[in-house]
Amino acid sequence: MFPLLILLFIVTPIVELYLIVQVAGEVGVLNTIALLFLVSVVGAWLVRREGLGILRKAQEEMAQGRVPGRQLVDGLLVLFGGALMLTPGFATDALGLSLLFPPTRALLRAVASRWFGRRMANGQPTMTWRFHPGGVADEGRTVSPEFGTINVESWRDDDPPSPPELGENA
């Protein structure tokens, strides 16, 4: 997971800046800004168009009593593609556009399905969620000082929980 974060937060911006500078050197700064803006507008239009189409197909599947599995995966891919389109840069725009076009999205869906299928066949979790409350007990209530969350099952409406108190270290 750590190498992926390094790639996302360090390598990607460097690559994007390099590409933007190279394009600006070839076509000019204003044309580069206009091109980035144009690609973002086209991407937003495609996200809306594809998203509404996927929603319609999912509703049709549900109306026929079937679970819209493929449409859910497509919806996630379009959502991710839209997020990439919001990121300024040519490399992320290219990847985002590839997720918005149905033929390339189908290819990426197949690759992702095989990857998840192999992980499930090997007994590996596809995603792991961990929760470490680290809270303190206070008359049956659990208060997490880090997040201010409260276990609502343990208090009554007439006895609302008190906010967590800051300790000496805060």
Sequential pLDDT tens for the chain (170 residues): 788 888 788 888 999 999 999 999 999 999 999 999 999 898 889 889 988 999 898 899 888 988 888 888 888 889 899 889 888 899 999 999 999 888 999 998 888 778 877 877 777 655 444 444 454 444 444 444 444 444 444 334 444 445 555 555 54
User: What total number of domains does the chain contain?
Assistant: 1
What is the domain range of residue 77?
10-100
* Residue 93 tokens, joined: 């725009």
In a domain, 44, yes or no: yes
In a domain, 48, yes or no: yes
In a domain, 150, yes or no: no
In a domain, 106, yes or no: no
Whole-structure pTM over 0.95, yes or no?
no
In a domain, 68, yes or no: yes
Q: Which of 119, 120, 117, 76 is closest to 99 using CA atoms?
A: 76
* Residue 162 tokens, joined: 């008190």
In a domain, 55, yes or no: yes
